[in-house]
Structure 1
């Protein structure tokens, strides 16, 4: 029964969009998984996609899948570069990982226009400016 399945709550894990650099022509952005836990996570699977509307037309990006065998405690993993043109869409990252034999999963969604300078913080562990969801 559904009630017998343990509800494993994802804590101390974040997805962040970091500003890596900027030039006159463009800015360079990357998406990271940040493990803020005191223990490593294993068999990490992340799917990413963008969706929304532009000029009244529905838009969907490709779904990408990323796998990391291990992300150490207090460490990060580079997921993918992200293009500024997708910041007007919902950018969804669905994370699954194991600690021991227990599986955890959570969906992180950057809403349209949430990746803006007014929302920047200094990202933990990365020490770069960006936007983070925990």
Structure 2
């Protein structure tokens, strides 16, 4: 039965953590985004995030996006810098048409930092990107 379930490889969907200025609080914040660089809309996007190390585990955060239009992005969550010492996972599941896709993105501990910034697709900013 398990052999009958085919989940294709996810391409052109990324997770980025971006350091950006918060106009309301006048602070530099780290925010996680999901990026849809595909030419089709994604539907029923479910994102489950958590952080872990050998001796610590964060609570689980869940987010649902009904529709993520093609060539767009959406904010997932604000990330506190204390989390960067942990491995941070983003489990993403979505539908493209009638096909379900699933991928786990991992930011290894201490990989989110100002030295690791690179251009982020579609956003015209720099951030830490996992493909």
TM-score normalised by the chain length of structure 2: 0.92
Q: Which whole-Å deviations, capped at 9, do the CAs of 1:93-131 have from their partners, x for residues lacking one?
A: 000000111100000010001012222112111111210
Counterparts of residues 1-134 of structure 1 (less than 5 Å): 1-21=1-21, 27-53=28-54, 58-134=55-131
Q: What is the number of residues matched between the two proteins?
A: 128
Deviations 1:54-111 (A, max 9, x none): xxxx111110100000000100011000001110100110000001111000000100
Structure 1: which 5+ residue stretches go unaligned? none
Structure 1 segments, 4+ long, off by >2 Å, are 1-4
Q: Pairwise CA RMSD of aligned residues? A: 1.6
Structure 2 gaps, min length 5: none
Q: Residues of 1 paired with 2:72 and 2:82: CA distance?
A: 28
Q: Is the 8 A contact 2:7 2:100 kept in 1?
A: no
